[in-house]
């Protein structure tokens, strides 16, 4: 029996995929043949079409996708009621995970895993996830939910349902870029979890709920909230160095927003988001978060170099200051990530259901052997 262990499944290929290619040494991220740097020109809807259908849409295909998504944009009343019942202090990722799971109960055919049904549910989730997150945030602020505006794009509607105000073109473009950059990333933890869950031929809602649960963790999508919490705790550029040194001195101390399993150089998404953050800082005059981020990278580079290591910013690092400058509270950053990643998760579920094999790795047993059973009263 082969007892080779790949901890954290590091370097293990579990299947083939047509969706995403990452070159971690060169810092390249490719969605279905297109470099991510070029895709920032596209709208999120165009990228969804690319991920789900294999290529960018024609105008007619784009309109069809938008129309299809509009059909399901309104949330069932029962799900809004469920969100209303959440205690004021409930974490937004807990609320989102619960609400997505609850959507299954309002679906007439939640369990079918044929392509047509999976596609129908995927389109409904694409439309509803931004509305769920927007509704969630409005309720937390003691405000009434906003009915989505069918004339707005997914990015526009997301901002609209969050704020209740029609967003500017500039803010919509920033949100579009953020959604595109976070849409897909190969066999990352949450996508692997979603695929593994689907591999039992359970339903889409269960697989996506599992994906959301995985994304929430601070080593994955939860890191963007962690970055903002750290920046808030640090408070000023002068305090950055002390914070980094103190954190690294702790056992297993981690600076959120740095490091990646696949990238050995700077994450290409961090490069793009750095430019966005820099522009927003300049335009808004609120440069503190961006300047603290640059200082954090400078100190991390220096400290990691001492250990002969390169631990570079990942996608979560600059997204924190971007979202801050768009006015979102820190604990909403991971739900925003989930809104974007629904497209990638669904692209992978299409692949998984189309050619399924149960995901079932093994553990090498190292526990005791050969023990003898004794009845309960005879045990010491």
Query: Does residue number 341 form part of the binding site for ligand ACO (CB under 6 A)?
Result: no
How is residue 146 annotated by DSSP? Answer: P
Query: Does residue number 339 form part of the binding site for ligand ACO (CB under 6 A)?
Result: no
Query: Does residue number 148 form part of the binding site for ligand ACO (CB under 6 A)?
Result: no
Per CB under 6 A, the segment of 32-40, 144-152, 248-256, 342-350 that binds ligand ACO is: 248-256
Per CB under 6 A, the segment of 50-58, 84-92, 107-115, 313-321 that binds ligand ACO is: 313-321
Query: Does residue number 265 form part of the binding site for ligand ACO (CB under 6 A)?
Result: no
Would residue 260 show up in a list of annotated catalytic residues for this protein?
Answer: yes
Query: Does residue number 344 form part of the binding site for ligand ACO (CB under 6 A)?
Result: no
Q: By rule CB under 6 A, what string of x and - marks binding of each residue 169-188 to ligand ACO?
A: -------------------x
- Shortest Cβ 369–ligand ACO spacing (Å): 31
Residue 98: which residues within 8 A CB-CB, separation 6 or more? 82, 86
- Shortest Cβ 366–ligand ACO spacing (Å): 21
Tell which one of 27, 148, 221, 268 touches ligand ACO (CB under 6 A): 221
Which of 182, 185, 220, 260 is catalytic? The answer is 260
Transcribe 73-131 into DSSP letters: -SPPHHHHHHHHHS-TT--HHHHHHHHHHHHGGG-SSSS--SHHHHHHHHHHHHHHHHH
Would residue 316 show up in a list of annotated catalytic residues for this protein?
Answer: yes
Transcribe 208-249 into DSSP letters: HHHHHHHHTSTTTTTHHHHHHHHHHHH-SGGGHHHHHHHHHH
Identify the helix (H) or strand (E) that includes residue 30: strand 28-31
Query: Does residue number 258 form part of the binding site for ligand ACO (CB under 6 A)?
Result: yes
* The dihedral formed by the CA atoms of 204, 36, 327 and 126, expressed in degrees to the nearest 10: -20
Helices (H), the chain: 36-39, 44-53, 59-71, 77-85, 92-103, 115-140, 154-163, 169-182, 189-198, 204-215, 223-234, 240-249, 268-284, 288-306, 315-326, 333-354
Q: How far is CA 267 from the centre of its chain?
A: 15
- Shortest Cβ 350–ligand ACO spacing (Å): 22
> Distance between terminal CA atoms of the chain?
36
Per CB under 6 A, the segment of 24-32, 126-134, 217-225, 277-285 that binds ligand ACO is: 217-225
**Three-state DSSP class for residue 334:** helix
Residue number with CB closer to ligand ACO (309 or 369): 309
- Shortest Cβ 262–ligand ACO spacing (Å): 8
Cα angle value 183/184/186 (rounded, 5°): 170
Query: Does residue number 261 form part of the binding site for ligand ACO (CB under 6 A)?
Result: yes
Tell which one of 57, 130, 167, 257 touches ligand ACO (CB under 6 A): 257
Query: Does residue number 315 form part of the binding site for ligand ACO (CB under 6 A)?
Result: yes
Query: Does residue number 299 form part of the binding site for ligand ACO (CB under 6 A)?
Result: no
Query: Does residue number 138 form part of the binding site for ligand ACO (CB under 6 A)?
Result: no
Query: Does residue number 255 form part of the binding site for ligand ACO (CB under 6 A)?
Result: yes
Return the bridge partners of 21, or none: 30
- Shortest Cβ 13–ligand ACO spacing (Å): 16
How far is the C-alpha of 151 from the C-alpha of 154, rounded, in Å? 10
Determine how many CB atoms are found less than 10 A away from the CB of residue 161: 25
Per CB under 6 A, the segment of 29-37, 62-70, 216-224, 326-334 that binds ligand ACO is: 216-224
Query: Does residue number 223 form part of the binding site for ligand ACO (CB under 6 A)?
Result: yes
Pairing of the two strands 34-35 and 20-23: unpaired
- Shortest Cβ 291–ligand ACO spacing (Å): 20
- Shortest Cβ 305–ligand ACO spacing (Å): 13
Q: Which among 163, 22, 144 is positioned nearest to 83, based on CA atoms?
A: 144
Residue number with CB closer to ligand ACO (29 or 255): 255
Residue 220: which residues within 8 A CB-CB, separation 6 or more? 188, 189, 190, 214
Which of 316, 348, 355, 377 is catalytic? The answer is 316
Residues labelled catalytic: 260, 316
Q: Give me the residues that bind ligand ACO (CB under 6 A), please.
A: 8, 188, 219-221, 223, 254-261, 309, 311, 314-316
């Amino acid at each position: 029996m082969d007892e080779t262990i790949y901890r954290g499944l590091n370097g293990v290929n579990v299947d083939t995929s047509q969706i995403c290619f990452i070159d971690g040494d060169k810092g390249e991220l490719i969605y279905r043949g297109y470099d991510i740097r070029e895709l920032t020109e596209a709208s999120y809807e165009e990228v969804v079409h690319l991920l789900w259908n294999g290529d960018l849409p024609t105008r007619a295909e784009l309109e069809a996708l938008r129309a299809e998504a509009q059909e399901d944009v309104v949330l069932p009343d029962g799900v809004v009621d469920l969100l209303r019942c959440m205690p004021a202090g409930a974490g937004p990722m807990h609320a989102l995970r619960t609400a997505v799971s609850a959507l299954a109960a309002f679906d007439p055919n939640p369990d079918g895993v044929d392509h047509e049904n999976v596609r129908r549910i995927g389109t409904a989730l694409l439309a509803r996830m931004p509305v769920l997150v927007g509704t969630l945030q409005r309720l937390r602020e003691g405000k009434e939910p906003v009915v989505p505006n069918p004339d707005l794009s997914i990015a526009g509607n997301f901002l609209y349902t969050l704020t209740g105000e029609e967003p500017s073109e500039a803010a919509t473009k920033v949100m579009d870029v953020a959604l595109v950059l976070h849409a897909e990333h190969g066999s990352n933890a949450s996508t692997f979890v979603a695929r593994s869950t689907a591999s039992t031929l359970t339903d889409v809602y269960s697989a996506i709920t599992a994906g959301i649960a995985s994304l929430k963790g601070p080593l994955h999508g939860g890191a963007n909230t962690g970055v903002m919490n750290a920046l808030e705790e640090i408070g000023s550029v002068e305090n950055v160095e002390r914070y980094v040194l103190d954190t690294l001195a702790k056992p297993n101390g981690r600076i959120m927003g740095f490091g990646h399993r696949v990238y050995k150089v700077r994450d290409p998404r961090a490069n793009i988001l750095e430019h966005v953050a820099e522009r927003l800082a300049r335009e808004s005059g609120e440069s503190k978060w961006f300047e603290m981020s640059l200082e954090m990278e400078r100190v991390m580079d220096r400290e990691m170099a001492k250990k002969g290591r390169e631990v570079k910013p990942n996608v979560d690092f600059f997204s924190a200051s971007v979202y801050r400058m768009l006015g979102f509270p820190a604990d909403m950053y991971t739900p925003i990530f989930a809104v974007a990643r629904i497209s990638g998760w669904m692209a992978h579920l299409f692949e998984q259901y189309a050619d399924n094999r149960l995901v079932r790795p093994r553990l090498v047993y190292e526990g005791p052997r050969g023990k003898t059973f004794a009845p309960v009263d005879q045990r010491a």
